[in-house]
Amino acid sequence: MDELNAVVEDPTLWDNPDKAQKLMRERTRLDGSISAYRELEQELADNVELIEMGEAEGDDDIVNEAEAALRKIRDIAVVKERESLLSGEADGNDSFLEVHAGAGGTESQDWTQMLVRMYVRWAEQAGYRVDWIEESPGEEAGLKSATIQIKGENAYGWLKTESGVHRLVRISPFDSQARRHTSFASVGAYPVIDEDIEVDIDDKDLRIDTYRASGAGGQHVNRTDSAVRITHEPTGIVVQCQNDRSQHKNRASAMSMLKARLYELELQKREEEKQALHDAKSDIGWGHQIRSYVLQPYQMVKDLRTGVEKGNAQGVLDGDLDDFMAAALAARLEGGSVEVEDLD
């Protein structure tokens, strides 16, 4: 903060408006964080003093009021502690989120739709905005794949640890014999990158296909080849967009997604992820899942990386993901598993 204050006083700062605005945004963010910490620190000291005074005077009302305030301070501290885990280069950015069905036909496609709903609910509860980029309906039910963009501060920072294979165990609603089925779907999160971040993409490395959109979209769907699919042949990355009637706009969105994927790839290399990129592209099936969601014969959602588990599976499917995300972020920073207190 001291360094930024010194830079702001430089009269030549606004000679480069883009750089100046970026510095001012960072200064505002830090100022807010520091002020919130100091306010929390002062409230803690004040209420501890109130408890001591109430106990000395035998005034239970003062003690009870101060203890209630301390509980609120504790809850705020938990949130701030989680926010402090978001220190990655692109953590503050918006995020693309892709979900793809694994092998298993209708079962996995239905599970894919459930996962997309789960993340949309989480985003709404966090105050984020959700834009639909692409969706491919299943043959009978659910989705083969879907891509959404989640907009809001730290969206990518929270979602980046959700990348991996998610496993569902339940009594199938599509099985006339009511047998238990296991389904898989893969999730991928990628940061939406700023325009001033350069990602070199050679046109000769791209294969661009157009096709007719499917799914929700009104009268325009299936009438023109407005949907766009781009394949980056050196990496095998495929992105697609169909949310606009304009092929030009869909192509621009798809290129933005491709840049995000390539940027995420570079971030993984720089952060020296323990899990190699090859593993992240492994088959969607047994042995590669990061989290299991069991609905029958009991209810339990367990993250296989951190050991965090919740018995309220429906609550998780309704967007209660913060404990899983916080534990995964902490484990990523510390290089090991951690326990997260469930304040509920």
| pLDDT per position as a tens digit, 85-124 | 887 778 888 999 999 999 778 999 999 999 999 999 999 9
Question: Nearest CA to 145 among 191, 97, 190?
Answer: 97
Torsions phi, psi for 204 (to 5 deg): -70, -15
Give the residue with greater pLDDT, 264 vs 64. 64
| pLDDT per position as a tens digit, 8-30 | 889 899 998 888 888 898 898 88
Confidence of residue 217 (pLDDT cuts 50, 70, 90): very low
d(Cα 149, Cα 239) in Å, to the nearest integer?
13
Q: What does the block give as tokens for 110?
A: 């239905």
Is pLDDT above 50 for 340?
A: no
Q: By percentage, how much of the chain surpasses pLDDT 90? A: 46
Confidence of residue 273 (pLDDT cuts 50, 70, 90): very low
Q: Does the global pTM surpass 0.85? A: no
- Mean pLDDT of the 171-198 span: 82
Element (H, E) at 315: helix 313-317
pLDDT value at residue 120 = 97
Confidence of residue 139 (pLDDT cuts 50, 70, 90): confident
- Mean pLDDT of the 250-256 span: 87
Q: Which residues share a beta bridge with 167?
A: 184, 292
Q: Which domains, ranges and CATH numbers included, belong to the chain?
A: 2-83 (1.20.58.410), 95-334 (3.30.70.1660)
pLDDT value at residue 140 = 87
Give the residue with greater pLDDT, 228 vs 333. 228
- Mean pLDDT of the 241-266 span: 84
d(Cα 121, Cα 127) in Å, to the nearest integer?
10
Average pLDDT value for the chain: 84
| pLDDT per position as a tens digit, 47-94 | 999 999 999 999 999 999 999 999 999 988 887 888 888 877 788 889
For the residues of 113-138, what is the DSSP string, one character each? HHHHHHHHHHHHHTT-EEEEEEEEE-
How many helices (H) and strands (E) the chain has is answered by 9, 11
Query: Which 8-state DSSP code applies to residue 103?
Result: S
Contact 15, 193 (CB under 8 A): no
* 246-to-105, 192, 221, 239, 255 alpha-carbon distances in Å: 31, 21, 12, 17, 14
pLDDT value at residue 314 = 95
- Taking the C-alpha atoms of 301, 304, 306 and 311 in order, what is their torsion angle to the nearest 10 degrees? 10
